[in-house]
Every structure is written in C-alpha cells, then in structure tokens.
Amino acid sequence: MPKRNALYAQSGGVTSVINASACGVIETARQHRDRIGKVYAGDNGIVGVLTEDLIDTSRESARTIAGLRHTPGGAFGSARYKLKSLEENRTEYERIIEVCKAHNIGYFFYNGGGDSMDTAHKLSRIGKRLGYPITCIGVPKTVDNDLPITDTCPGFGSVAKYIAISTQEAAKDVISMAETSTKVFILEVMGRHAGWIAAAGGLAGSRPEDAPHIILFPEIPFNRQRFLARVRCCVKDYGYCVVVVSEGARYRNGQFLADTGLVDAFGHKQLGGAATVIANMVRDKLGFKFHYAIADYLQRAARHLASATDVRQAYAVGKAAVELALAGKNAVMPVIVRTSDRPYKWSIGSTSLGRVANREKMMPRRYITKDGFGITAAGRRYLEPLIQGEDYPPYRNGLPDYVTLKRVMVRKKLKTKFVLS
C-alpha cells in the first residue's frame, strides 16, 4: 500500500494533558515511518484543515515532541467550530476531503469530545462516498469526563486532582480565619452538564467535619432554602463552611444559576458566575463574610499539578489511536477500560465512534449522597485512582519549562480559498 500522511487536530476546550495525546500520536506515527508519512496538524483544529493551514510536525525535533507530554494548552491551537450538518450543506466535509486528497492524507486523528467524535464519524462515511476513504480515529479528551463507554476521559484526572487539592488547601485558610473573619468559602468549578469535576472536590476530605461541606452538582436541582439551611448548620457545627459549586448547577426548571446569556458555536450556553450567585445569597440571607474563587482556565491548564495516571492515559490513547489505524480499524475511538479499583488497573480497548458521538455521561445517582450534597463511598472509589501520582514538568528559573513549537506551515496546494461562515 502506498504510504499516506496523517492529520491530527485538537478540538474543543483544551486540557493540561491534551498535548500528551498529541505526543502519543506523533511519536507512534514516527515509529512507523514505513507506513505513515508525515503527521500534519490542523492550525487551530478543524478551522486550519478547512483553510488548508496545516502545521508540519516533522519539522519539530524529537525533543520538542517529547516535551509536549508535559506542556499544557493546545500546542497546535484548538477550535470550537461546528461543521454544517451533512444534510444542510456538504461543502465543509467535501472541502476537508479535498484538503486531505491534496496532501495525500489517509489518516485523521481527531482529539476531542462528543461533538468531535460525531465529526470524525461523518468524515469517515463521506470520504468513502466521495471515493477518497480516510481512516478516522477519535482520541478522547474532555475535562468534563462526560464521554460514554470510556471509564474516564484524559484531562479529567488532572482537573480532579487540582480541584481536590485546591479545596483542601483553601479549607486550611478559611478554618484559620473563621473565628473572627471569613466563614464561607465557595469554589466554582467547570462541568457544563455533568458534575464529575465538582465531585472531585469531595476527595479533599472524608469525615463530615472535613471540607467540602457542600457540593452543588448539575444533576441535583438547586434548592435555595435547603442550601442556606445547610450553610448555617455547618457554620454552627464546624465554625466554617466550604462549598464546591459546579458551573452547571441549575434550578429545578433547568435554568443555570450562572447563565451569562451567551452561547457558543454548538449552541452551548457560556457559563460562569454560579459562585457569585450563591455568595450573594449567603451574604443577603445569612450575613456571613465569604470569599469565592472561580477556578476557570486555571483548573484545566494546571499541568504542574497533573495526575500521573491521567498523563499516562492521555499518552496511551494517542498511541492506541495510531495502532488502531495501522491495524485497519476505522471510525473507532480508543477507550480506557477499568479492570480493577483497588489496586487500580486499566487497559486500552476501543469502541465505534457512533456509540460515543453526541452522548453525555452524567454522574450516576449512586455516586451522590442521599441529601445531594456530597459523594458516596462508591463515588470515591471511582474517583480516587484517577488522581494518583505526580508528574511534575521540568523547571527552569523557578518556572515549568514548557515547550513551544516552531509551527512550520505546509505549503498550500489548493487554488481555492475557503471562507469560514
């Protein structure tokens, strides 16, 4: 079979370990030079593919590619860009095929969440129909941990570790101040629809008096009276109260506490501000002094606190994606299979893209305590292994020594320019 090039693209919100997956893809492809030519990367994900802006990763040294393993953010740029549906307009998919054809690309590795798996799935079908089949393999990624089938999603374990540690450390601060000053600390965490990240805050303590005293999950409708009563109770019993609130926390009618009124390309509501909303309730109704923090990008960029388990899994799914392609598989995604909780053991399996596309995995009710404010022993058993181990980046002059790519662009071959709509 003639040797074909590969295309790699990052998609959606980035994580502190998405580049470890890129490293897994590129290093593994380099080990199979007899079968895979160059690895090109979409500059800003699928947007760069459409506009034929491709980065030639073969121009990066082995040392730089290895450095991706410990570098956060999306080294090639990511995108939240929704392709038009096939029924609505085929031109975008056709354009991707045209770009692939022009650059002899036969493999597409798409590193993203549920929406991206849908895109990769469609591309594998339309390529065949247009007479230019492309092997499309998904590489799972999302801090929200909401992809189905896989036991966990690379990116999540590191956010979970960051949130558990931040909750633990902030609690030490509040408890020192509580007697005469701050009584309530609120930490807002990501997780648009699923409460996995908020749940990870629960790992900070194990006894009722330990922080966090309250976790607000998107899966449990928010009730103002019950929440305020619990805050009052914690301050009375323990002297202080630590709350972890998911950005996706919502009222019974489905309205987010933190709806900013803005939506992204996928129609997802932009969230942020749940902590402010509940902090104001605490002040107005209970009169307690509070502090709050919105972890925002800090949580998904915090490579210095990454979970070693997560880094290993992120690399493993990148490597497995290339191996699946070489084994002749198409329209599949490597998944993490948990084979034992204690000791934690996992292996890599695979599933079809059709089974993961556009589906979200919520926290099961059995991981949330009856009162809806904490995690159960089963939830802890699931979460704990994912934050195990430290994988510090190298440091220089007191700062992590992260890599920056040269980003040498591939010469364009197509005459037509593509205008994004």
Q: Which is nearer to ligand F6P, 141 or 304 (CB)?
A: 141
Least distance between ligand F6P and beta carbon 66 (Å) = 26
Q: Which candidate in 53, 118, 144, 310 is catalytic?
A: 144
Least distance between ligand F6P and beta carbon 189 (Å) = 9
Catalytic site includes residue 144? yes
Please state, in angstroms and as integers, the Cα–Cα distance from residue 74 to each residue in 49, 89, 283, following that order: 16, 29, 39
Least distance between ligand F6P and beta carbon 130 (Å) = 31
Q: At what angle do helices 308-326 and 156-177 cross, to 10 degrees?
A: 170
Q: Which is nearer to ligand F6P, 142 or 152 (CB)?
A: 142
Q: Which is nearer to ligand F6P, 44 or 142 (CB)?
A: 142
Least distance between ligand F6P and beta carbon 163 (Å) = 12
Q: Which two tokens stand for residue 167?
A: 């909750």
How far, in Å, CA of 83 to CA of 126, rounded? 13
Nearest residue to ligand F6P on Cβ basis:
13
How far, in Å, CA of 95 to CA of 81, rounded? 15
Contact footprint for ligand F6P (CB under 6 A): 12-13, 80, 142-144, 190-192, 247, 264, 271, 300
Beta-carbon neighbour count of residue 151 at 10 Å? Answer: 18
Q: Which is nearer to ligand F6P, 65 or 274 (CB)?
A: 274
Q: 137 — phi, psi (to 5°)? A: -125, 130
Radius of gyration of the chain (CA): 22
- DSSP per-residue codes, 116-182: HHHHHHHHHHHHHHTT---EEEEEE--TT---SSSSS-TTHHHHHHHHHHHHHHHHHHHHHHTTTS-
Q: Which is nearer to ligand F6P, 27 or 247 (CB)?
A: 247
Answer yes or no: are the C-beta atoms of 309 and 344 closer than 8 Å. yes
Least distance between ligand F6P and beta carbon 31 (Å) = 30
Catalytic residues: 144
